[in-house]
Amino acid sequence: MVTGQVVLVASAFLAAFAGGNSTVLLVTSLFLLGLGWNFGFVAGSAYLTEGAPVTERVALQGFGDTLIWTSGALASFSSGLLFQAGGYALLCLLGSALVVAPAALFVRYRRALLQPQPA
């Protein structure tokens, strides 16, 4: 999942600073977008169901997919509004922030869990 997030952030920054005439950079950023999304999606799906009882895995996966595709639909709708309001670079940088912010919270939360608790 971390690799997917790193690739997504690289894709967003590459696209944000590619400029309108740089076809090679835009195609590369779109390739990285798909690659990073797939890394995150496959790893996240596996991680989601890993600890669940076998009888609940299908329902949990379906719920996770529902959240993912609903979020994707909302992002598609809002991206047009953001593009109109601030342009392509703003859209890319905001997308990058939406990857980095939850990742930073996850790292902070994980470190807190790994620290020994006082008795």
Residue 60, CA atoms < 13 Å, CB-side half-sphere: 14
DSSP SS3 for 115: coil
pLDDT at 19: 73
Domain residues of the chain, as ranges? 2-114
Encoded tokens for 77: 């709708």
For residues 16 and 88, the answer to whether their CB atoms sit within 8 Å is yes
DSSP 8-state symbol, 17: T
Q: Give the global pTM.
A: 0.72
Confidence band, pLDDT 50/70/90 cuts, at residue 18: confident
- What would the pLDDT profile of 53-63 be if each residue is shown by its tens digit? 899 999 999 99
pLDDT at 118: 67
- What would the pLDDT profile of 61-112 be if each residue is shown by its tens digit? 999 999 989 988 998 888 888 889 988 888 888 888 888 888 888 778 877 7
Q: Which residues contact 20 (CB under 8 A, 6 or more apart)?
A: 88
